[in-house]
Chains A and B, each alone.
Chain A
Amino acid sequence: MILHILRVAKREWKWILLQKSYLILVLVAPILFALTIHLIYAPKKVVGLPVVFVDQDHSQLSREMIRAVLSNETFISAGYINSAEEFPRLVAEDRARVCFTFPRGMERDLKAGRGGRVEVLVDQSNYLAGSVELTNATLALAPFSILADVRAIERIKGVTHSVALRRAMPLDVGTRVGFNPGFTSNYLNYIAVGAAYIGLQLASLLIAIRSGSSEFGERSFQPLSGVQDHPFAFAAGKILAYFLPLVPVFLAVIFMPHLLFGAPIVRLGPSFWVVLLWFPAALITFGYGLSGLAGDGLFATEVCALLTLPNFLVTGYTWPSFAFPKVLLLLTYGMPLHPLVFMMRKITIMGGTLADCTPQIWCLTGWSALAITFAWAGTRRILGEARIGSGGNA
């Protein structure tokens, strides 16, 4: 049996080497894909956003506030404008993202105990940048409010500054972030790590997508001598031929963010290796089975396109699955990428094991069962056609 498997694998490699461009694309593209994604997210957080100021107060306080805003790394000055009405155009021309308006008489009102008001206009057309802008604008200006409050308490109660500060901030929030130690909206450890797996999923499916269909005529120069009666060896040999070159690609993509960009890998136990071997094996089997069953490489590729194109954003990796409408929840768990991204996140970043991945194990088991069924049916079709082609004497 093993000899038959190896013979089929050898036959497959001979054919693959005649189609070098396919092989190079499938082996190199996931690595380039991952590198591109990591480079995009390399700055880890959004900094250097251009801000404009409408200073109608021209007071010491407004100037101090501007200095405080610009000392935050998120913002850089894009100058002063006369009115907030100019802001939309500046946004459209990429010249400003945030506009601070200090109204006339702000300092005077504050000194007179009437309270001041600062308006912060934020470009929320990009949700991600808008959230960062608003949070940092509030962080930069909130101390002014607290400090004014502290001074008022000092005057009223005649207490020391530290006591007044505690009175002004009677409750405090201490935040600790687990699993993402560099968290200040660190997107490299979040999106980039998961998005890199898109390329791996594609490679797993596409590497074998022509292996079955090519048996219908395209490979008449490669006779199936000796393996027609061993369907298991035939399928296993083909899957093995594609599995072996793909494993190093998986390792390269998974370790790239850790080695080149400093993303954390907390755990690499047996669970990691199980996922690493199981996922590509299941998807290669599926790709081969689909290809054999369809008998048409293009049609099989299109099925893969439908499965993979919307996949990442539907997996629940970014937009969380609990926020999905209930009817679409099945879609999340039904996507082949879901188990890979979640299992890898839970194991490598959160330090978990397979015991924490029950829903994902069910998903991958489902895909594996489907893959085996397809591979079985595809192999039967290929070997059946081969028998007919050779006059039933094979």
Chain B
Amino acid sequence: MPRILVKLCWREIRRILSDPRIFVLLLGGPFIYAFVFGGVYWQGRTTNVPIVIVDQDHSRLSRELTTALRASDSLKIVGWANSPDELPALARREAAYTCVMFPARFERDVLAGRAPKIGVLLDGTNTLVSGVSLNAIRNVIGAYQVGVNRRFLEASGVPNERIDTVSRPVTIVGRQLFNPTSNYSYFLLIGLVCAASQSVIRMITGMSIGLDSYANIRREFKTDLPGAPWLYATKVIGTCCLALPVVYGATATVLTLFGTPHRGSLVFIYSALTVYVIVHVGMGFGYYGLCRSYILSTHLHLFMAVALFFLSGFTWPYYAMPAAVQAVAHYIPIFHMNCIMRKVNMVGASADWVLPHLVALVIWLVLGYTWGYVAFKKWLESQKALSHA
């Protein structure tokens, strides 16, 4: 009995390896994600946002501020415009996304203590870009504000050693924990690999069962075949034997090659990944049973892949979603896997800190495996009926 089980597992592995349509997708999916996005987010943060300057003052102060803006690596001055009205056209042509305007009599108003306004016009269609440029501009202008304030206090006879505390009496020190450089790659990459693994495993499982038949199994094994639970188990083990190294490898690539921090236990991360892979193999069978066609189930997974990633709360935080959507998010396995990944890797959480997510994954393991078994049993019965006919 154990011998035939090993043979059935080996058969499953052989089938996947010998069908390039399945194997290439399994191997390609998670690794393509890791490498493509690791490359795309290589810089880690957005730099050199193209901006234009509208200088209606032509004063020394406006030129100094322009030089200071140029020195910021977040911004890149691509030219001068006559009016901020030119920005919409420039933004539409992807030539510039922000316009900084120094109004006429700007320097004179500063010297007269009239607090003039520097106009900043932003292209709000990409919040990431506008946020980066606005922060950089505020930092540069904030430094000048403090500088002007210091000179004024100096002129008022405030002793030099007290000027800093008088000009900015309350210092707000922001510390960005767990991702101090606000690296976009650390934030996103590991979640993308989990999302790709989910879709690819479900797809290949559907294809693998869809391209198999009971008649083929019978033809290959002349002896009595084990019952449906054992046959199902061999298929799950066979698929996992190939899926697990791929998912482990893609995760290791993200953690080592692309430098995503891992502060928690790697053993814990890989254990959670193992459960996650088995859950999706089971669900792959389940979805195939629902669709009764491997192409249809592949189409379904393609539509679901991105929606589930967004729903997992990895980018837009789940706690900012409407309550009903949040509830749905809590019922999908990728939500819990992504929470474990982020909390263990980045926050350094131990198992007891993420216990609810762990429990949810284990519940999904039981549900996914059972659902897959029910679908497999139906498939087996229909196949037997077909072979008898």
Contact = CB atoms under 8 A, between A and B. Distances in A.
Interface string A129-169: 11100110110011011001100110011000001011111
A293 to B, nearest CB: 15
A327 B295 CA distance: 34
A278 interface: no
B153 A177 contact: no
Interface stretch (A179-187, A236-244, A363-371): A179-187
Given A25-B300, A174-B118, A322-B49, A349 B207 contact: no
Interface in A314-365: 314, 317-325, 327-328, 331, 345-346, 349-352, 356, 358-359
B56 to A, nearest CB: 14
B37 interface: yes
Interface of B: 21, 24-25, 28-29, 32-33, 36-37, 39-43, 45-50, 84, 87-89, 91-94, 110, 113-131, 134-135, 137-138, 141, 144-145, 148-149, 152-153, 156-158, 162, 164-180, 182-184, 187-188, 192, 196, 199, 203, 207, 291, 293-296, 298-300, 302-303, 305-307, 310-311, 314-317, 319-322, 324-325, 342-343, 346-349, 353-354
A129 B314 CA distance: 10
B40 A328 contact: yes
Given A170-B115, A185-B127, A345-B125, 15 more contacts: A21-B296, A39-B322, A48-B320, A119-B173, A125-B187, A127-B182, A127-B183, A128-B317, A130-B182, A149-B168, A172-B116, A178-B91, A198-B306, A299-B21, A321-B94
B192 A313 contact: yes
B234 to A, nearest CB: 23
Interface in A86-100: 87-89, 91-94, 97
Interface string A277-319: 0000000000000000000111101101110111011100111
A172 B120 CA distance: 10
Nearest to A352: B92
B170 A312 contact: no
Interface residues on A, range: 35 or more
B39 to A, nearest CB: 5
B179 A130 contact: yes
Contacts of A349: 125
Given A91-B347, A134-B176, A25 B299 contact: yes
A190 interface: yes
Contacts of B134: 175
Contacts of B299: 22, 25-26, 206, 301
A325 B39 contact: yes
A318 B41 CA distance: 11
- Secondary structure type dominating chain B contacts: helix
A166 B125 contact: no
Contact of B178 (A41, A117, A124, A296): A124
B124 A178 contact: yes
A324 to B, nearest CB: 6
Given A176-B119, A178-B91, A37 B298 contact: no
Contacts of A37: 307, 310
A81 interface: no
B317 A110 contact: no
Contact of B32 (A39, A163, A306): A306
Contacts of A97: 319
A120 B170 contact: no
19 contacts: A49-B319, A92-B343, A92-B349, A117-B173, A119-B173, A121-B175, A121-B177, A124-B182, A138-B174, A145-B171, A149-B168, A167-B152, A305-B302, A309-B33, A313-B37, A318-B128, A322-B50, A349-B125, A350-B92
Contacts of B291: 21
Nearest to A115: B165
A297 B169 contact: no
Contacts of B91: 178-179, 350
A100 B257 CA distance: 35
A40 interface: yes
A152 B166 contact: yes
Nearest to B306: A198
A191 B316 contact: yes
Given A43-B320, A319-B40, A323-B48, A171 B305 contact: no
A351 B125 CA distance: 12
A135 B171 CA distance: 15
A173 B137 contact: yes
Given A21-B296, A145-B169, A171-B115, A309 B310 contact: no
A30 B302 CA distance: 11
B176 A171 contact: no
A92 B121 contact: no
A121 B172 CA distance: 11
Q: 6 nearest interchain CB pairs?
A: A180-B124, A115-B165, A124-B176, A148-B169, A92-B349, A356-B92
Contacts of B24: 302
Contacts of A116: 169-171
B295 A314 contact: no
Contacts of B149: 149, 167-168, 170
Given A173-B141, A310-B37, A142 B172 contact: yes
Given A202-B302, A298-B295, A127 B165 contact: no
A215 interface: no
B164 A115 contact: yes
B32 A202 contact: no
Nearest to A112: B165
Output the residue of A170, A199, A305 with the most chain B CB within 10 A.
A170
Given A176-B119, A309-B199, A302 B347 contact: no
B347 A36 contact: no
A94 B340 CA distance: 12
B176 A122 contact: yes
